[in-house]
Amino acid sequence: MAIKSKILLVDDETAITTNLAPVLERAGFEVAVASEGEEALRKVSGTKPDLLILDVLMPKMDGREVLRHLRADGNWTPVILLTQVGDSVERAMALEEGADDYLNKPFDPHELVARIKAVLRRARPGQPPLTAGVQLVCEGLVIDRRSKRVHLNEREITLTPKALVLLEYLMTHPDELLSRERLLDVVWGWDYPVETRAIDTRISELRRVLDDDPNSPAFIETVSGQGYRFIGGVRIQDAHP
Amino acid sequence: MRKLWPLVYPIFLMIVAVILAVLFWRSVLPDLILVVRIDLGNLVFVGGVITAAAWIVLMVLWNRELTRSIDRVQYEAADEKRRFLRRLDHELKNPIMAIRAGLANLEGVSTGDVQKQALSSVEAQTLRLSRLSSDLRKLSELEMRPLEKTAVDINEMLSEAFNLAKDQPNANERELKLTIPQAPWPLPVIQGDRDLLFLVVHNLLDNAIKYTSPGNRIEVRAFEDGSTLVMEVADTGQGIPDDELCHIGEELYRGRGARGIPGNGLGLALVRSIIQRHGGQTIIRSRAAQGTVVTLRLPVHSQYKFTS
């Protein structure tokens, strides 16, 4: 029998945890629950979960603070944040602080299951996730997430702010099918008219600037009718001294 | 200037002063020495002029202060509304989340037809609440996020929104027309947030399609008159009755004719908010059973300030 992945679900709303835990259990995970930050940190050192789901707004210690504590201790257990604020800046910061993904409430519980599976698939035990990296590299493409600069084959390229957010997300979630809706949420913070081609326009912009041929891409692949995928291999680049 | 009629007072005072002065100057009061009469006359005249001038200056200052106060009150009211919407959205999220998770649990349990139907109906309503919650969030966030200012090609933006609308299922049964002038020159490029402006036009077209029946016309047009870019989305649909027209841009407001049509009454509020942040105006005109036109006016020159 396969070993079940252990999930620690942290939210101060018991109505949410008592209903969500069974859903995750039915999806094949072993679920433990905590109702606030300090309890969560205790349980992390105790049960060593494979993934944490943290609600951002909690009394005493909120999700982001728990995340900071963990990362400061060198604990790279994957974390999915449940954000409640619609602020895209906050979300971008959350990713920079070391969260692997986030989901806006209210969400479809099945979407959470899908994200958990994707994060676990990407996780490299003991090693920091791509989202922790300051500089990410794929072939000749280098993105510095702190200074927000992108270099292709040593030459700096300029991108609009939204295209940059999009590239950053693609590179921190490589080899994962990302639907247009999800990418819209990342770039925009909400699902801007669902059928819109806003994402397609930004992808075209990225392809143009990266010199990526849509028909034989090195970086971004179109999954017909579903979304996009970053197919290049991404790794964290050691910072230059 | 609001209310010019208080200026009547200083003008009246001036007239009285002039009359009195004249009376003094002339020999109306014979028992006073001529010199005294003239001095008195001058005094009254000068006194009257100074008082009237002071009055006018005070009126202007008072009026400016009044306008500023009114603007401040309006701004604070809008701010309070934003905060309310954010709080409402925040309070809705958790219960809706718990319900969705509970429903996901019920799905796993095999049930009879009656339960399945009830479950599916509850799920549909929850989804509706969920969308309302996220639309409220959109609206409150929109009024705070910084605009991404670029040069927007209006022609291209309108064409894309129009083509997207044409692709919608219902649109096949309506007559859609897009008019963009090419003579004497094409539409100006304006500084704005292209995606938000696109959202505005998309929303208006979406409404036009929703509130029209097969066979109706929907027209999109734009033109510039030197200082203003004007865009219009017009339809020959059910229209909006006079008594509802003044409320139509308010959040969550839905007219009587909107019953049975999906939507949550936030679309136009979003449109108004975006256009206002671009320094423009949204005007809605409508006749019940005839049609509706939404006019967007945006300043062309970049001197106007973005509200950020």
User: How much is the average pLDDT of B65-78?
Assistant: 86
A66 close to A54: Cβ distance less than 8 angstroms? yes
Number of domains making up chain B: 2
pLDDT of residue A95: 72
Contact residues, chain A, for B205 at CB < 8 Å:
none
Q: Partners of A83 in the beta sheet?
A: A104
B272 close to B249: Cβ distance less than 8 angstroms? yes
Say whether A84 and B198 touch across the interface (CB within 8 A).
Answer: no
Q: Residue ranges of the alpha helices (H) in B109-188?
A: 113-142, 154-166
Of the candidates B90, B102, B195, which has its C-beta nearest A84's C-beta? B90
Q: In chain A, what are the domain boundaries?
A: 6-122, 133-236
Domain boundary among B119, B144, B169: B144
pLDDT of residue A1: 53
Same structural domain, B92 and B175 = no
Say whether A197 and B105 touch across the interface (CB within 8 A).
Answer: no
The structural architecture, per CATH, of the domain A6-122 is: 3-Layer(aba) Sandwich (3.40)
Q: Give the range of the structural domain holding residue B232, as residue numbers without chain letter.
A: 150-299
Same structural domain, B160 and B136 = no
Quickly count: other Cβ atoms within 10 Å of residue B126's Cβ. 17
Q: Which amino acid is at B199?
A: L
Same structural domain, B198 and B79 = no
Chain A residues contacting B, CB < 8 Å? 13, 15-16, 19-20, 22-23, 26, 84, 86-88, 104-110, 160-162, 188-193, 195-198
Same structural domain, B167 and B278 = yes
φ/ψ (deg, to 5) at B30: -65, -30
How far does CA B183 lie from the centroid of its chain? 30
Same structural domain, B138 and B10 = yes
pLDDT at residue B307 is higher than 50: no
Contact residues, chain B, for A189 at CB < 8 Å:
141, 145
The CATH fold of domain A133-236: Arc Repressor Mutant, subunit A (1.10.10)
Same structural domain, B257 and B157 = yes
Domain boundary among B120, B144, B168: B144
Burial of A134 (0-12, 13-18, 19+ CB in 10 A): middle
User: How much is the average pLDDT of B149-173?
Assistant: 86
Domain with residue B261: its CATH number is: 3.30.565.10
What mean pLDDT, rounded, does chain A reach? 85
Q: Identify which of A19-23, A162-166, B181-185 has the greatest average pLDDT.
A: A19-23
Same structural domain, B54 and B154 = no
Quickly count: other Cβ atoms within 10 Å of residue B57's Cβ. 11
Give A2's pLDDT tier (boundaries 50, 70, 90): low
pLDDT of residue B205: 93
Q: Which residue has the higher pLDDT, B39 or A196?
A: B39
pLDDT at residue A88 is higher than 80: no
Tell me which of A12, A23, A35 to substitute to probe the interface with B (most B C-beta atoms closer than 10 Å).
A23
Q: 0.90 exceeded by the pTM? A: no
B13 close to B52: Cβ distance less than 8 angstroms? yes
Is B305 within the bounds of a domain? Answer: no
pLDDT of residue B306: 45
φ/ψ (deg, to 5) at A214: -60, -25
Q: What is the DSSP string of A139-208?
A: TTEEEETTTTEEEETTEEE---HHHHHHHHHHHHSTT--EEHHHHHHHHHSS--STT--HHHHHHHHHHH
Same structural domain, B68 and B139 = yes
Q: Which residue has the higher pLDDT, A195 or B64?
A: B64
Is B258 within the bounds of a domain? Answer: yes
Domain boundary among B110, B144, B178: B144
Give the 3-state secondary structure of residue A82: strand
Say whether B167 and A189 touch across the interface (CB within 8 A).
Answer: no
**Closest approach of A21 to chain B, Cα-based (Å):** 9
pLDDT at residue B303 is higher than 50: no
Is B304 within the bounds of a domain? Answer: no
A-chain residue closest to B206, CA distance: A193
- Of all residues in chain A, the percent with pLDDT exceeding 90 is 33
User: How much is the average pLDDT of B89-101?
Assistant: 87
Same structural domain, B178 and B140 = no
Q: Which residue has the higher pLDDT, A58 or A24?
A: A24
What length is written for chain A?
Answer: 241
pLDDT at residue A52 is higher than 90: yes
Give B308's pLDDT tier (boundaries 50, 70, 90): very low
**Closest approach of B71 to chain A, Cα-based (Å):** 27
Beta pairing class for B175-179 and B217-224: parallel
Same structural domain, B194 and B65 = no
Q: Which of A77-91, B73-87, B117-131 has the lowest mean pLDDT?
A: A77-91
Give B234's pLDDT tier (boundaries 50, 70, 90): very high
